[in-house]
Amino acid sequence: MIKVEIENNKIEIKGHANYDDYGKDIVCASVSSIVITTINAIIEFDPESIYYEDLNNYIDTKVFMSPSEYLLVSNMDVIYYLLDFSKEKINIWYDLLKNKKSIKYSLIHNNLDTSHLIENNNKYLISWDKSKQDMPINDIIKLYQDNYYDLDLEEFLREYEKEYKIDEDEYLLFLIKLANLKKIEFTRNTYKDCYNINNYLVYLRKIVVLVQKYKKNLNKV
C-alpha cells in the first residue's frame, strides 16, 4: 500500500503498491508523478506573474498598440485578479492538505470529452488509451477547459457530487488550477490573435465568477 503523508512542511511518499518489482512499478511511479506535477504547478505562479507584468509593461511603452495588444492590456484586471487569487490560496490549500494527511488519487480518463460518452440502455465511457493514475479533479479540469463555452460547470459538479464528494482541499486546488494562466502567443495574424485572446478572456471571466462565488461562500461560514 502507498501512503502520501503531509507533515512538518514536507510531503513524503511511503510504501509500495506491489504492482511490480521495485523500480518497475508503474503505480508507484504514477503516484510520485501526481505529487511532483502538483508541486510544479504551484511553483509556476511566480514566473507567470512576472511574464504578464513584463508583457503589460512592454505593451504600455508602445505608441501604437495592435488591436490584440489593446484587447489584452484593457483586460489585465482579470489576469491579475486570478494571479492574486492563486498565490493567496495556494498556502491555504497546503494547510488544508497538512490537516488532511493524505491525497486522493485514482485511475482517471485523462481525455474526457462529450464524444467519449456512449449512451444506449446504459452509459459507457470510451477511449481510455490516455488513462493514468492522477487526482480525480484533473479529469474535470480538462473537460471544462475544452468545453467552457457550452458546459455549465456548477450543474456538472452538482451531478458529479451525487456520486463522488469533492473535499474542500480538492475544490480549492481545482479553482487554483483552473486559474493557472497560460502564456499568450502573438502572431502576425491580427484577426487570429484577437480571436484567441477574446476566447481566453471569456474562459478567464468564467473562472472569476467561480472564484467570487467561492469567496462569497467562505464569508458566509
The values of phi and psi at residue 120, to 5°, are: -140, -110
The mean pLDDT of 132-155, rounded to a whole number, is: 89
Strands (E), the chain: 2-7, 10-15, 106-108, 117-119, 123-125, 132-134
Return the pLDDT at 39.
54
For residue 34, the tally of other CB atoms under 10 A from its CB is: 21
Q: Which domains, from first to last, does the chain contain?
A: 2-220 (3.90.1200)
Return the pLDDT at 206.
95
The mean pLDDT of 107-133, rounded to a whole number, is: 88
Q: List pLDDT tens digits, range 62-117.
A: 878 889 988 988 998 999 999 889 888 888 887 787 777 667 778 889 998 888 88
Residue 93's SS3 state is helix
Model confidence at 27, pLDDT cuts 50, 70, 90, reads very low
3-state helix, strand, coil in the chain (%, to 5): 60, 10, 30
Return the pLDDT at 35.
54
How would you classify residue 23: left for phi > 0, otherwise alpha for psi between -120 and 50, otherwise beta? left
Q: List pLDDT tens digits, range 159-210.
A: 989 988 898 888 998 999 899 888 888 898 999 999 999 999 999 999 999 9
Quick check: 211 pLDDT over 90?
Answer: yes
Element housing 143 (H / E): helix 137-147
Task: Please tell me which residue, 8 or 198, carries the higher pLDDT value.
Answer: 198
Residue 36's SS3 state is helix
Residue 114's SS3 state is helix
Which range is most confident: 39-43, 104-108, 112-116, 144-148? Answer: 144-148
210 closest CA partner among 143, 135, 155: 155
Task: Please tell me which residue, 208 or 1, carries the higher pLDDT value.
Answer: 208
Quick check: 16 pLDDT over 50?
Answer: no
